[in-house]
Every structure is written in structure tokens, then in C-alpha cells.
Structure 1
Amino acid sequence: MKRVLALHGVGSSAEIVKDQLAPLTRELGPRYEFVYLDGAVERERGPEIAPYYLGPFYSYTRGYTMAEIREALNGIDQFVNDNGPLHGVFGFSQGASLAASYLLDYQTRKPGTQLPFEFAVLFSSISAFSPSKTCYESIIEDLLNQDFPAIESFPEAEFNELAEPERIFAEYLALTFTVANNMGSFTEPINFFQQRNQEVIPRVLHHSLTQDRIKIPTVHVNGKGDLSAMSAQSRLVCGLCDQSLARVHHHPGGHGVPTNLSDVKTLVKMIDWASIEGADRRALHQAPMGTPQRQFS
């Protein structure tokens, strides 16, 4: 049996994500056991959470500064250590973001060490974040040391005057938090550059600025009807994964987990592939020297 950690979205809960995943978990059957984790931060009902859920509602983080992301990742790490072994992780929206962020951070903190999960399934992921001050430090320092109007009026600005790394980071930061602000999932001021303080600027991860890639099989699930800014974040999170080990499925819905039987059956096949491939790669990593090894295509 494969044990899988499931992480919910903003202003949601373990109970809600359990319901969201129910069509899929039923089809996966007893081969998979799901473990659910409520976020540590109690907050108001999240966007598009049905009124029949009475709460309480949670998030994994209050905000997205480096310190807040580190606190959230430490919470996941503690849960994994206390409740392992776990073979996979499923995440929806913020939960998918935290799963990707956790995997990338784990690889940075423990290079050469096996990840605690063999595979990951990310539904409608929002942007991934780093908790490390060294992440994009020179890019952000360059932005803070210049008086471009684009930075003074962030996020409602044109960034074409910036050098490419600074432009990519500023545009992606603006996209991520403008849509979050509009949806009500993030309600704090989003002119992160106003204080001229590196500590308050979220380290939102863009694959063209980050060399590291998630090194386990991943399945990325997105709705064709989702907001374009949300879909863009999901695509960029997919770009943070090893593309030879990434599979993508688009369903006809919006920002949610698909319930149509044909989509569910397709996902079961993809998840089974990810689970088997991940287990084989872990076994390959653990094999003693001289043990015959399976060749991967």
C-alpha cells in the first residue's frame, strides 16, 4: 500500500480536500492510503469554498515571506517525520505550492539525500516559494538599488525597462500576488518593494531563474477553465520539475479537482505510473554497488 500526504488549499481544510479528492481516491482504491494535514493558521473561508462547509478553515502560512515559508515547510517536515514513511504527496492550489516548495527546499538542504516522497501530484498549483535569503538575492538587491518607476509603482507597472532576470522576477511576482489579491486569498499590501527591505519580498520561484529541478515523478493537473494567471503559475511550477519525469493532464473544469469519470480514470493511470516509476528510482538509488540495475527510457 502507498501512503500519501494530501495538502489542502487556502482557507480550506483536511475535511474539504478529502471531499475534493474523493472521486479520485475511490477509483485509486485500497492500494493507496491518504493522510490529511490541516494548515497551522486558522483563517476565513477561502475562495470558492462551498457554503455548506462550516469550518474551521486553515492555511499553511500567514504570508509568503521567507520566514513564513520556512515556518510552513518546517511544519510539513515535522509531520512527515512523525507520520512516515510516506510514498507520495498530493496538493491542491496552496497545498500543491507547498509540496513543490518543500521538495525543492529539501533537495537544497540535503543534497544527495533521497526525498521523503517517491512521487507528487499537483492540482492547480499556485507559485512555489523559497525560504532562503540567498535565493535571487542579487536580483532583488539590484531591484531595490534602482529607482525604476516600475518598482515604485509595483505591481501596476510595465517592467520592460528592467534587465531580463529582474524583469522576469518582477513580472512573475506581480502576476502571482495580483490574482491572489483579487481573489481574496491574500489580503495584505502587495507593493513589496516599498519598504526597501529584502526580508519582506517573497521568493517566488521561476524555472528560468532556478537551476534546480524536482527529481521525482510528478503529475500536474489543471483546469482549462481556470484563470489565465492561475494556469500560468501551474505551468511555471511544472517547469521546476524534471521534464522527463513530469506528466500533465488538462481537464475541462476550473480551479478544482476533476470529477468526470474519464478524467479520473486517466489520472489513475498517470498516478500509478508516477508511483511505480518513483518506487523503481528509489530502489535503484538504494541498490548496493554491483547490483544489476533497471535501465530507464
Structure 2
Amino acid sequence: MKIVLALHGIGSSAEIVKDQLVPLTRELSPRYEFVYLDGAVERERGPGEFDDRYVGFYEFSFANTPLGIASYYLGPFYSYTTGYMTAEIREALDNLDQFVREHGPFHGVFSFSQGASMAVSYLLDCQAHESGTKLPFEFAVLFSSVSAFSPSKTCYGSIVEHLLGRDFRAIQAFPEAEFNELTKSEQIFAENLAPMFTGAKKMGSFTESINFFKQRNQEAVPRVLHHSLTQDRITIPTVYVNGKGDPPAMSAQSRLVCGLCDQSLARVHHHSGGHGVPTELFDVKTLIKMIDRASIEGADRHVLHQDPTGIPQR
């Protein structure tokens, strides 16, 4: 039997993601057993339906919103992180790592939205620190992932330092600005970072962290990962799932996360729905085949990196 960790989206819970995954878990049992993890941070109910007001970046706002998880869920609701600064991402990944060590080993991870972001960040962080040892999962399934983040203050350090050290018009106007005056790498970074905050602005939600460029606050700049700025790739088989009805901005984030995966080990499926786990029979049957194949490939690769403890050393 395969033991799989399941991670929920923001303002959600283990109870909710368990229900979201039922179309798949029903078909996968009893070959797979699922363990569900609540985030460490209690917060308000998360969005449940989406429209253009949110520009698809609701995951990065801490505002109360008029949309939410279905009303029959009474809470509590959770996030895996308090925010997206490097220190906050480090704390979130350490919490996840502690759970994996205490309740694992796990064969795989199923993750939705913010949970998928955390899974990708965690895997890349483990690879950076545990070269040559067994990773915490043999395969990963990523549903509608939002952007992934690095916990390292040195990630894109020269880019951030240069942006903070210059009086660019675009930086002073951040997040709503044109970035044509920047170098190519700086432009990619800024354009990838800005939508996180333009979404918050459209909802009337501002936080002090939006002013990190004006305040020259290097530690407050989220290190949102872009595949063209880093050579690191997830080295386990992945199944990447995205809804054709997802808002364009969220789909853009999801594509960037897919780019952080080794493409020779990635399987991609676009279902007919939106920001959610697919429920149509065709989608479910297709994903079951992809998941089983990724699981088999992951197990084969695991043999090559066998660690007698079953848990990577850090």
C-alpha cells in the first residue's frame, strides 16, 4: 500500500481537501492510504469561487472576502504559512518537515493550490540540502498550484539587492508599474512578484509588506520562484493538474510551477473545470493512470537512492 500525504489550499482544512479528493481516493483505495494535514496557522474561510476581481491571486491576500469555502463547512480553517517572506516560508517548511518525520515515511504527496505551492517549495528545499539522499516523497500530484517560494535569503540575492539599491520608477510604483527599464532577470522577477499584490489591491487589501521596495527591506521581499531564473528542478515524477476554467492569472502561476519540475518526469492534465480537483469521469480515469504510473516510476527511482532510515537526513 502507498501512503500519501494530502495538503489543502489556503483558508481550507484537512476535512475539506479530503472531500475534494474523494473522486480520486475512491478509485485509488485500497492501494493508497491518505494522511491529511491541517496547516499550522488558523485563518478566515478561504475563497470557494473565483472571478476577475481576484485576478486569481487570492492565495496571497489576508483580507476577508465575500466569497468563501462552502457554508456547510464550519471550520476552523487554516493556512500553511503566515506570509511569504523567507522567514515565514522557512517556518512553514520546517513545520511540514517535522510532520513528515513524525508521521512518515510517505510514498507520495497530493496537494492543492497553496498546499501544492508548499509541496514544491519543500521538495526543492530538500533537494538543495540533501543531495544524494532519499527525498521525502517518491512522487507528487499537484492540483492548481499557485506560485512556489524559496525560504533562502540568498535566493535571487543579486537581483533583489540591485532592485533595492536603485531608484527605479517601476520600483517606486510597485506593484502596478511597467518594468521595461529593468534588466531581463530583474524584469522577470518583478513581473512574477507584482501580481501577488495587485490582486490584494483590487480587493482593497493592503499590507505593510507591499512597501518593501520603498523601505529597502530586503528580508521582506518574497522569493517567488521562476523556472527561468533557477536551474533547480523537482527530480521525482510529478502529475501536474490544472483546470481550463481557472482564471488566467492563476493558470499562469500554475504553469510556472510546472516549469520547476523535471519535464522528463512530468505528466500534465488539463481538466474541464476551474480551480479545483476534477470530478468528471474522463478526467478521473485519466488521472488514475497517470498517478499509478508516477507512483511506479517513483518507486523504481527510490531504489537508486535508498536510505535505510526511510527519512532523509538534514
TM bucket by the smaller chain?
Answer: over 0.9
Q: Which residue of 2 aligns with 1:122?
A: 142
**SS at 1:250 equivalent:** strand
Q: TM-score scaled by structure 2?
A: 0.88
1:200 to 205, 217, 220: 220
Q: Secondary structure at the match of 2:29?
A: helix
Q: Is the contact made by 1:176 and 1:233 (CA closer than 8 Å) also made in structure 2?
A: no
Alpha-carbon distance in structure 2 between the residues aligned to 1:128 and 1:169: 13
Note the residue ranges of structure 2 that are not aligned, 5 or more in a row: 49-68, 308-314
The one-character-per-residue Cα deviations of 1:210-269 (angstroms, maximum 9, x if unpaired) are 111100000110000111110011100010110000011001111111011110110000
Residue 163 (structure 2) pairs with residue 143 (structure 1): yes
1:68 to 79, 85, 88: 88
- Provide the residue aligned with 2:24 in structure 1: 24
Query: How far does residue 57 in structure 1 lie from its aligned partner after superposition?
Result: 0.4
Is 2:181 the counterpart of 1:161? yes
Equivalent in 91, 105, 112 of residue 92 of structure 1? 112
Q: CA deviation at 1:187?
A: 5.8
Write out per-residue CA displacement over residues 36-56 of structure 1, whole angstroms, 9 at most, x where no aligned residue. Answer: 000010000001111111100
2:296 aligned residue (276, 279, 287)? 276
Contact residue 8 and residue 111 of structure 2 kept, 8 A: yes
Query: Which 10-residue stretch deviates more, 211-220 or 186-195?
Result: 186-195
Question: Aligned letter for 1:203?
Answer: R
Which residue matches 1:252? 272
Cα drift, residue 180 of structure 1: 5.7
Report the TM-score when normalising by structure 1: 0.93
Structure 2 partner of 1:295:
none
Instruction: Give the drift of 1:31.
Output: 0.4
Structure-2 residue corresponding to 1:9:
9
Please give the alpha-carbon distance, in whole angstroms, between the structure 2 residues aligned to 1:109 and 1:246.
Answer: 22
Compared with structure 1, are the counterparts of its residues 181 and 104 closer, same or farther at alpha carbon in structure 2 (3 Å cutoff)?
farther
- Residue type at the aligned position of 2:207: E
Relative contact order, higher structure (CA 8 A, sep 6+): 2
User: Structure 1 residues 182 and 17 mapped into 2: Cα distance closer, same or farther (>3 Å)?
Assistant: farther
Once the two structures are superposed, residues 96-142 of structure 1 have per-residue CA deviations (whole angstroms, 9 ceiling, x without a partner) of 00000000001111122220100000000000000001100000001
Query: How many residue pairs get matched?
Result: 286
Verify: 1:217 aligned to 2:237, yes or no. Answer: yes
Give the conservation status (yes or no) of the 8 Å contact 2:132–2:305. no
Q: Aligned-residue CA RMSD in angstroms?
A: 1.5
Tell me the distance in 2 between the aligned counterparts of 1:72 and 1:225: 29
Identity across matched positions, percent: 78
Q: 1:71-110 CA distances to partner (integer Å, 9 max, x unpaired)?
A: 0000000000000110001110000000000000011111
